[in-house]
Amino acid sequence: MSSTAWLLCFAGLVTATACGSTEHGSGGESGAAGTSAAGSTADGGATAGKSTGGNVSSAGNVSDAGAPGTAGRGAGGSTQAGAASGGSDAVEAGAPPAAGGTAGGNEGGASDGGAANGGEAGAATAPAVAYVSTLFGDLLVASLDPNSGAPTLLPSSPIDVDGTLNGVAVSPNGKFLFVPADPARIDTYPIGADGSLPEEASSSTSVADDNGMVSMALDPQGRFAYGVSPFAAAVYVFKVDPLSGALTLSGDSLKLGAGPDHRAPAFVAPEPTGHFVYVTQLAAGVQPDDGIRGYSVDQTSGELTELPGSPFNAGNVIAGAIVFRPDGKFLFSSGNGVNAFAIGAQGQLTLVDGSPFSTDVQSDPWAPNITIDPAGKLLYVSNFGPTRHVTGFKIDPISGALEQAGAPVTTTSPYSLALGPGGRFLYVGEDTGEIAVFKVSRPSGQLTALDGSPFQFGGLEPDLAFLTLP
């Protein structure tokens, strides 16, 4: 648990569950980097997939006829055409998918079409890199083997960044890396053609806040960035310069709830179309307004206006991460259990029957410990607390309900999760200076550790983002 998380527990801003004990302390529920993909969904139709928090987007799944997914760059960064095998993980009655972007660590990649018998994954992805932020100032870059998914730390790592690091996100066009850091700033790094980073940031944007931003997200089109400052009870909106990646503060900070005592935000997540943003909140004693706050987005300024009916608290969500199914039908949160919500046309959230589908989920309130695969069929969560589980779920494409996919796997200290390009491998940021990697079997969702896993690099409170190389 970070020093800020300890202070939150001390100040009573998170629940007792959120302040559970581990080697480094386990916070409440985590914030997440949401992986999503542009791909035809199980109920047909090609949809552009975008998600939040710093993970991947893939151009990928194939139709039953075996037509390849279309390669897309645009909002999804560098991409690769999807595998052309029409196995059980292929899309039913769908047009070839378009490229999709994610809001924070975007990229396109090949999505597994699945073998003809519905077994293991299809063709390998293109070469890719992983970016890893660690709490005490080390920014790491690792190459990913396109066949095995194994990461190898590049010789240029680590890049020493001033202050503690609170996350990492890749721009939707794949050109910039954003790193929230203390004190209250976001650094921008231009990304080289080979995925490398310079030793120094090209720009750095600070806000007048004595407390650091502990998480951030990018809008799916890369126009806006959102930074979360729990102690200042503020969400900051930035405009993103498309040429330089420089950030400019846009308007006043957003305050959650009625004053004078505003709610403290934990995690922010723009949904796939970029028209709505959702924010989870830390607990602060007995509150009548727990749940997920929803906002409409001004498409010019990025200004956020709270939706009618917000906060959507039927699931009693407290803190935690958010990810979206790529077609934008459902939102999933790791706060106070694994909850699913249907997203209405005007952004309203309706709790899916059966929520919470598990309470075996826990991490710091803003740690990305929930991730969704590019096809929108599998969801994974982790418990940084007592069980140390990583658990997979199958997603019902009609109802959004979750069904556990295979037995959980246990790792040393699973702080964060992220599915790599194409969703073929699951990367677990351990709070022990290691990265555990698992192959994702399809259609079962069962996880199998790679040979050599866990890999010996990383640090405390690691967050991951990916980029597929041209």
What is the full DSSP assignment across 95-127?
PPPPP---BSS----BPP---TTS-S--SPPPP
Confidence of residue 95 (pLDDT cuts 50, 70, 90): very low
Beta bridge partners of 294: 278
3-state secondary structure 360-398: CCECCCCCCCEEECCCCCEEEEEECCCCCEEEEEEECCC
Question: Which carries the bigger pLDDT value, residue 419 or residue 70?
Answer: 419
pLDDT over 90, % of the chain: 62
Over residues 145-160, mean pLDDT: 94
Q: Which of 30-44, 204-218, 265-279 has the lowest mean pLDDT?
A: 30-44
Question: Which carries the bigger pLDDT value, residue 179 or residue 57?
Answer: 179
What torsion do the CA atoms of 205, 209, 215, 220 make, to the nearest 10 degrees?
Answer: -50
Over residues 283-304, mean pLDDT: 87
Report the pLDDT value the prediction gives residue 125, as an integer from 0 to 100.
Answer: 64
pLDDT, tens digit (0-9, with 9 covering 90-100), for 170-194: 999 999 999 999 888 999 999 999 9
Report the pLDDT value the prediction gives residue 101, as an integer from 0 to 100.
Answer: 33
Report the pLDDT value the prediction gives residue 289, as an integer from 0 to 100.
Answer: 82
Over residues 206-218, mean pLDDT: 88
Number of CB atoms found within 10 A of residue 260's CB: 5
**pTM exceeding 0.85:** no
Does the domain at 3-38+124-468 match CATH 3.40.50.2000? Answer given as no
Over residues 4-18, mean pLDDT: 37
Confidence of residue 285 (pLDDT cuts 50, 70, 90): low
- Distances from the Cα of 64 to the Cαs of 116, 180, 339, 384, 413, in angstroms? 10, 42, 31, 39, 39
Distance CA 330, CA 188 (A): 31
Over residues 252-274, mean pLDDT: 91
Report the pLDDT value the prediction gives residue 296, as an integer from 0 to 100.
Answer: 97
pLDDT at residue 149 greater than cutoff 70: yes
Q: Which of 95-109, 153-167, 278-292 has the lowest mean pLDDT?
A: 95-109
Query: What is the rounded average pLDDT for all residues in the chain?
Result: 78
Report the pLDDT value the prediction gives residue 11, as an integer from 0 to 100.
Answer: 36
Over residues 451-461, mean pLDDT: 95
Q: What ranges in 22-172 are assigned the alpha helix state H?
A: none
DSSP code at position 83? P
Q: How many CA atoms lie within 13 A of 463 on its CB side?
A: 40
pLDDT at residue 452 greater than cutoff 50: yes
pLDDT at residue 29 greater than cutoff 70: no
Domain map (residue ranges) of the chain:
3-38+124-468
pLDDT at residue 389 greater than cutoff 70: yes
| Helix (H) or strand (E) run with residue 467 in it | strand 463-468
What torsion do the CA atoms of 277, 278, 282, 284 make, to the nearest 10 degrees?
Answer: 100
pLDDT at residue 15 greater than cutoff 80: no
Report the pLDDT value the prediction gives residue 124, as an integer from 0 to 100.
Answer: 52
Q: Which of 238-242, 283-287, 432-436 has the lowest mean pLDDT?
A: 283-287
Residue 421 sits at φ, ψ, to 5 deg, of -55, 130
Distance CA 130, CA 34 (A): 15
**Cβ pair 443, 92 in contact under 8 A:** no
Report the pLDDT value the prediction gives residue 470, as an integer from 0 to 100.
Answer: 87
Confidence of residue 210 (pLDDT cuts 50, 70, 90): confident
For the chain, how are helix, strand and coil distributed in percent, rounded to 5? 5, 35, 60
- Residues whose CB falls within 8 Å of the CB of residue 51, separated by 6 or more in sequence, listed in order: 33, 34, 35, 36, 57, 102, 103, 220, 269, 272, 323, 324, 326, 372
3-class secondary structure, 247: strand
Report the pLDDT value the prediction gives residue 280, as an integer from 0 to 100.
Answer: 95
pLDDT, tens digit (0-9, with 9 covering 90-100), for 104-147: 333 333 333 333 333 444 445 689 999 999 999 899 999 999 99
β strands within 219-271, DSSP E? 224-229, 234-240, 247-249, 254-255, 265-270
Confidence of residue 31 (pLDDT cuts 50, 70, 90): very low
Question: Which carries the bigger pLDDT value, residue 24 or residue 434?
Answer: 434
Q: Which of 233-247, 314-328, 329-343 has the lowest mean pLDDT?
A: 314-328
Report the pLDDT value the prediction gives residue 114, as an integer from 0 to 100.
Answer: 38
